[in-house]
Structure 1
Amino acid sequence: MAEERQRDQWSHTSLVLAVLANIHRDPKRAGRYTADDFNPFTARKPVTMKAGVGILKQVFVDSPKGSTK
């Protein structure tokens, strides 16, 4: 019951925060904010890596020592 109350309060708070953020955002630079952006109870999509750690190893470890670009 306590968690549902927190969820309800956060839904109101996150909506107010989204409105304030959208009022003060630069329309040329940032996209619109939603209440889900500020709600800690909203499920987030996991960030997927586009390249593995092996790419970093190839670039920084396996590169020739004398070459700088």
Structure 2
Amino acid sequence: MKHKYQINGISCGGCVARVRKTLEEHPDIEKTEIFLNPKGKTIISMKERLSVEELQQQLNKLEGYTITEIL
């Protein structure tokens, strides 16, 4: 299942790498694609759908990033 999100706080390739690694540490996340153009657009492939709150909790391991779903 692929779902689209916006991650605020992404500003460079280093951010992309850190956020991708952190999200993919979650056992239900298979793959994370984060784009710099448009900045912060994200596609997450999951085994089981996670809520935005669960994704934010995973992101909270890093500082300065927030995630919202794109409908």
TM-score (norm 2): 0.28
TM-score (norm 1): 0.28
Q: Which has the higher contact order (CA 8 A, sep 6+)?
A: 2
Q: Which has the larger share of strand? A: 2
Structure with higher Rg: it is 1
Q: Which has the larger share of helix? A: 1
